[in-house]
Chains A and B, each alone.
Chain A
Amino acid sequence: MSGGGIGVEFSLKNLPNMLPGLILCAVFGWLALQWDATMSGWNRDFKEAEKILKEVNEGKAPVTFAEYKQKQADGFAKRTEKFKADEAKFKEAVAAGDKTAKAPRKPSKPVVLQEADFNEVVQAKSIPGNLNFGNLMISFQLTYVAMLLLGGMLIRNTVGLPEVFKAGTVAARPLIKPGIIILGALYMWSDVLKVGVLGLALVVAFVMGTQVLISYWGRRANVDTGLAGVMGAGVGVCGVSAAVAVAPVVNAKPRDFFYAIGTILLFGTVALFTFPYIGKALGMSNPVYGAWVGTAVLNTAQLVAAASWYSHESLLTANIINIVRVGFIPLIVLWAIYFYVVKPAVDAGHEGQKINVWEVITSKFPIFVFGFFIMVSMNEMGLFTAEHRSILGSDLLKLFFAIGFAGVGLNIAFDDLKKAGGSAFMIGVVSATLKAVLAAIAVILIGGAAFEVKG
């Protein structure tokens, strides 16, 4: 379901236990964002340096740094003037009732190289090493997301995580959820409905499909019903939380339950680290990749991380599909009750147990998604300016995600993954892989335009 604060209850009483780990995640998050800002800056400067180098080779570049700075300032002033004129025209068109008029985009401040970097480009005709490094890191997608996940995993499995930090790092993972909520400021209802309807089709086909497939496959292969039920819920919808929700319904045995959880965690971890590169290798556009991870990655924290790793645009698409997906948890529990409790009873000639559908829905529905819908509605009502949207959907989003991703990375313990095993491993991995492959084919065929979020 979520990054899941399973085992850590949010309460003031627990705060002293959680505080050291939360502070650790905040520090790691800050360091990773600092890295991200530096690398992005160097990457931006690299592109500017490349442009200047091209001009130098063509004999067009300004000779001195002062001339270069002036040229950049003049260009910006020109673009600002044009923006003001376009904005006035846009306002007139809107006042005249023209609904097709498009708001002009405010010009961004020009990139101006440091004097030393500029001189190196112009005089030595080479790009400074740090700018090359930044470009390399960004091209390998080693952003703050990768640093936190890889770094966290490395620390956890080498030097280890002292006990005092454990509760807090687990509690940090749900901080991804406020990020998901405030991201709602970037959507219009038309986006949510357009991508949501397709997302619904994908969720029904692949998420529910996986659950049903594992149920029938498990029965045919004489796999224990408990194991098949837990695995179906976990692989189908959302990892550990769904598996825990279904476990009592299907009478899962402890050993099978932990096998299933290990398998789900293992697949999720492998998916998290490989999907961004598979997406690039397959040439997936941002919306297509977002739709793919939204359907194929098993839990919210890993899904959000895998999408953010790729691009912000991918995250916008993946987030809607994830909202639809987590809304399916009550239905997965209902399916488990029907398939493992009601149907066998009816088949055996007994009266089927009545299901309190409403009770299941209200107790299992993840209510944080209402926050997301409220944000979308507020944006639709025009309560957010472009500046608000930028602060919420970019700056603060990164802060929440960075702390949450630090928690995710620090909680990837190889010991937990080793618990994967038994027949659960085979069923889980084959089903999850099948779901990922079929979902990739489906979203590629549907195409990026259908999943694009315009905002």
Chain B
Amino acid sequence: MSEETNKSDYEAKAKSTFSAERKEDYFVLALATITVALVLTGVIGPNFFKSLFF
């Protein structure tokens, strides 16, 4: 594999990695927002966690 090909491969890999991680960050921000909203509105209450276990 030539040096030039290596460079473009890595550039593509780095770009796709950071694009995927950026998308991942948006996803986790959305998930955290929904979670906080559910807690603040009382949909998820103090007994929610305990109710999941025996």
Whether A398 is near chain B, meaning CB under 8 Å from some CB there, is yes
Would you give the shortest CB distance from B41 to chain A, in whole angstroms? 11
Which partner residue on chain A sits nearest B16 by CB separation?
A: A9
B24 touching A251 by the CB < 8 A rule? no
The chain B residue sitting closest to A399, CB to CB, is: B49
Q: Are B28 and A368 in contact (CB under 8 A)?
A: yes
Q: Which residues of B contact A245 (CB under 8 A)?
A: 14, 17-18
Query: How many Å lie between the Cα of A177 and that of B40 in the bound state?
Result: 20
Q: Per-position contact with B for A338-379: 1 when CB-CB < 8 Å, else 0?
A: 000000000000000000000000011011101100010010
The reply to whether A34 and B1 contact each other, CB–CB distance below 8 Å, is no
Query: Which residues of A are found within 8 Å of B31, using beta-carbon distances?
Result: 175, 178
A6-B17, A34-B53, A241-B21 as given contacts; A248 in contact with B10, CB under 8 Å = yes
Cβ distance A367 to chain B, nearest Cβ, rounded Å = 5
- Mask for A1-35, Cβ within 8 A of B = 1, else 0? 11011111111000000000000000000100110
Query: Given B3, B20, B33, B44, which contacts A10 in the complex, CB threshold below 8 Å?
Result: B20
Q: Give every chain A residue within 8 A of B28 (Cβ-Cβ).
A: 174-175, 177-178, 181, 368, 371
Question: Across the interface, which residues of B come within 8 angstroms of A371, CB to CB?
Answer: 28-29, 32-33
Residues of B within 8 A of A324 (CB): none
Contact pick for B14, options A10, A177, A247, A251, CB 8 Å: A247
Of A156-164, A307-315, A385-393, A442-450, which stretch is located at the interface? A385-393
Please give the distance in Å from B52's CB to the nearest CB on chain A. Answer: 7
Assuming A241-B21, A244-B13, is B49 touching A392 (CB within 8 A)? no
Within 8 A of A (CB), among B1-48: 1, 3, 6-7, 10-11, 13-14, 17-29, 31-33, 35-36, 39-40, 44-46, 48
- Chain A residues positioned under 8 Å from B46 (CB to CB): 387, 390-391
Complex contacts, B53 vs chain A, CB 8 Å = 30, 33-34, 37
Q: Which of A5, A252, A391 contacts B24 (CB 8 A)?
A: A5
A383 within 8 A of B: yes
Q: Which residues from chain A contact B45 at a C-beta distance below 8 Å?
A: 391
Residues in B whose Cβ lies below 8 Å from that of A316 = none
Asked if A34 and B54 make an inter-chain contact with CB atoms under 8 angstroms apart, the answer reads: yes
Task: Identify whether the interface residues of A are mostly helix, strand, loop, or mixed.
Answer: helix
Q: Is the interface of B mostly helix, strand, loop or mixed?
A: helix
Residue of B nearest to A6 (CB): B17
Contact residues of A between 410 and 453, Cβ < 8 Å to B? none
A247–B6 Cα gap in the complex (Å)?
Answer: 10
In the bound complex, CA of A59 to CA of B10 (Å)? 74
Whole-angstrom CA separation of A375 from B19 in the bound complex? 25
Query: Total interface residues on B, using CB and 8 Å?
Result: 36
Pairwise interchain contact B54-A396, C-beta atoms closer than 8 A? no
B49 touches A398 (CB 8 A): yes
Is A254 positioned at the interface, with any CB of B under 8 Å from its CB? yes
Within 8 A of B (CB), among A208-258: 241, 244-245, 247-248, 251-254, 257
Q: Given the interface contacts A181-B29, A247-B14, A367-B25, does A8 sit within 8 Å of B52 by beta carbon?
A: no
Which residues on B sit within 8 Å (CB–CB) of A392?
Answer: 35-36, 39
Smallest Cβ-Cβ distance to A35: which chain B residue: B53
Q: Does A58 contact B (CB under 8 A)?
A: no
Q: Are A182 and B36 in touch, CB under 8 angstroms?
A: yes
Report the minimum CB–CB distance from A320 to chain B (whole Å).
17
- Are B32 and A6 touching (Cβ within 8 A)? no
The listed residue (A4, A38, A391) touching B39 by CB distance below 8 A is A391
User: A252 with B10: in contact, given A241-B17, A390-B46, A391-B48 (CB under 8 Å)?
Assistant: yes
Are A248 and B7 touching (Cβ within 8 A)? yes
Known contacts: A33-B53, A178-B32. The answer to whether A368 contacts B14 by CB under 8 A is no
Other A-B pairs, 16, CB within 8 Å; known A9-B19, A375-B36: A5-B21, A6-B20, A7-B20, A9-B20, A10-B24, A10-B27, A30-B52, A34-B54, A175-B28, A185-B36, A248-B10, A251-B3, A251-B10, A388-B40, A390-B46, A392-B39
B residues contacting A by CB (< 8 A) are: 1, 3, 6-7, 10-11, 13-14, 17-29, 31-33, 35-36, 39-40, 44-46, 48-49, 52-54
Q: List 11 A-B contacts (CB under 8 A).
A: A4-B21, A5-B20, A5-B21, A9-B23, A34-B54, A174-B27, A181-B28, A247-B10, A248-B7, A391-B48, A396-B39
Binding site for B on A (CB under 8 A): 1-2, 4-11, 30, 33-34, 37-38, 174-175, 177-178, 181-182, 185, 241, 244-245, 247-248, 251-254, 257, 363-364, 366-368, 370-371, 375, 378, 383-384, 387-388, 390-392, 394-396, 398-399
